[in-house]
Amino acid sequence: MTLDQLRIFVAVAEHGHMTKAAERLGISQSAASAAIRALESQHGVRLFNRVGRNIELAQTGHRFLPEAKAVLDRAAAARGVLEDVSQTVAGSLSIAASQTIASYWLPRRLAAFHEAYPAVKLSVTIGNTRQVETNVLDGRADFGLVEGRTESDILRRATVDEDRPMLVVARAHPEIPMTRAGNLDIRALRWIIREGGSGTREALEDFALSQGVPPAELQIFLVLPSNEAVRQAVEAGAGATIISELVVARSLAEGSLRAVPVDLPKRDFAMITHRDRQASLAQMALKAHLGGKADAPASVE
């Protein structure tokens, strides 16, 4: 068996779908299928059961999966040793990033990194904070970049930048009423929010709690899966949201949105890594390039 066959097997096992696994690995579906057939044929076993258009691990596949992952981890560690010995910054890096970071903060920085280290191949997957944390824990990503809180104590967290959340409404939105205590009456607003597990939603929930309002008492009008969808819904007058300044800067400048003056704390953009996995030269170079500092357990804010 080859390392490529193992990588394909693990990807198919994790996705439960041959085409999705092939897309993640950047190969054709037929190449992925051929690698699985060859692995099964070479050893006279069945690793997957075909169920309709999907596939699922057979009993042998379940037993084989942790061993395959262990071999790939050891191969990555061996590659890291050789890189360290040769002092060559090369190899591949997988990055999982939350939507705000991936869409607005990361692209220019990765382009500059590629100019400095052209031998490093970069791949990025996008999810919310909780999904990014899971990818780093499972070893599917070397790095995670998040703006929300993380929970696992086997991750390390390093601040790479700051972000400013803003409360925004459409230009023609009525003035927001005030409470008797002189605060914005956030219960009177219709809210457009991101899905659970996102740092953007977390910022709204934290703000509500700071105002003495349980998040469950907010009028949630729409729950949307992306920052762009939230921004467009707010521009259309559907309600209010709290969102990163990076997402709405152009809309504010053009006048389709207006910011509501409110004291919202800044939040960190943070890099998360697995504390038990040895960093390669390429990983250390990317961390330095992105400005990672002040390593701490990821569960500590």
In CATH, 165-265 is 3.30.70.890: no
Same fold, 88-163+268-291 and 165-265: yes
CATH topology of domain 3-83: Arc Repressor Mutant, subunit A (1.10.10)
Alpha carbon 137 to its chain centroid, in Å, reads: 12
pLDDT of residue 299: 42
**Which residues of the chain have a pLDDT value below 70?**
80-88, 292-301
Q: Name the pairing type of β-strands 190-194 and 219-224.
A: parallel
Residue 147's nearest CA partner among 196, 203, 192 is: 203
Q: What is the CATH number of domain 88-163+268-291?
A: 3.40.190.10
Residues 6 or more apart whose Cβ sits within 8 Å of residue 88:
119, 281
The number of residues in the chain equals 301
pLDDT of residue 82: 66
186-238 tens-digit pLDDT: 999 999 999 988 989 999 999 999 999 999 999 999 999 999 999 999 999 99
pLDDT of residue 110: 94
Q: Where are the domains of the chain?
A: 3-83, 88-163+268-291, 165-265
CA 128/CA 150 separation, integer angstroms = 11
pLDDT of residue 292: 54
- Which pTM was predicted? 0.67
Going from the C-alpha of 54 to that of each of 50, 60, 68, 164, 285, the distances in angstroms are 6, 18, 21, 43, 39
